[in-house]
Structure 1
Amino acid sequence: MNEHRFTLDDGDTTVTRDEPRPPLYRHRLRFENVKGEGGPGPEGSTRRAAPDLAVVTCACGLGTDVLASDDARLLYEEHRNLIRDEITAGSRRP
């Protein structure tokens, strides 16, 4: 077995970079349900049920206004697929 043990005193261990290192995770995709207010129903009826609303956000800069839940889910899935493709393309680089 090697007799030499590495210590911090063995040399200059300072590492410098010219450019900042990118964050480990560029994406942090979130789908958040929003409590919607039901609007008034037609004359003579009670209030309608609140529509399902949601917001989609990601650390890469994606951010939506309040959307119908189905539309938000579609956008979420499309962005998730883009993230998957980005990761797959990155793993194939030499």
Structure 2
Amino acid sequence: MSEHPFTLDTTGASPAADRTSRYPHHLRYEKPAGAARTGPGGPTLHALSDLTVVTCACGFTTAPLPNDDARLVYEEHRNVIRDETA
């Protein structure tokens, strides 16, 4: 059996730790807390499900926004990230 041409370095940090130190962004959509509102007759169909919060690991967070507005904010921040890494 032949020797492998590489060695495994297990003394360093995990790949996830390396990735977060070089890339401080993790952009995502989240539903706001308390996503189900109830009315006088019980749960309503117009719950907070049509609201979305946009968050990023860099500290960027929005207030609950309508889905279309949240999508626009997400795209704007994604463009900022792209420009930052270029």
TM-score, reference length from structure 2: 0.57
The structure with the larger Rg is 1
State whether structure 2 residue 85 is matched by structure 1 residue 87.
Answer: yes
Please list, as runs of the form range in 1=range in 2, the aligned pairs for 1:5-24 lying within 5 A after superposition: 23-24=21-22
Task: Structure 2: state its 5+ residue gaps.
Answer: 1-19
TM-score, reference length from structure 1: 0.53
Q: Percentage identity across aligned positions?
A: 56
What SS does structure 2 have at the residue aligned with 1:78? helix
Relative to total residues, which structure has the larger helix share, 1 or 2?
2
**Aligned counterpart for 1:64 among listed residues 62, 65, 74:** 62
The alignment yields a C-alpha RMSD, in angstroms, of 2.6
Residue aligning to 1:50: 47
In the alignment, is the contact (CA less than 8 A) between 1:38 and 1:48 conserved in 2? no
Compared CA separation, residues 74 and 38, structure 1 to 2 (3 A): farther
Query: CA offset at residue 36 of structure 1?
Result: 5.0
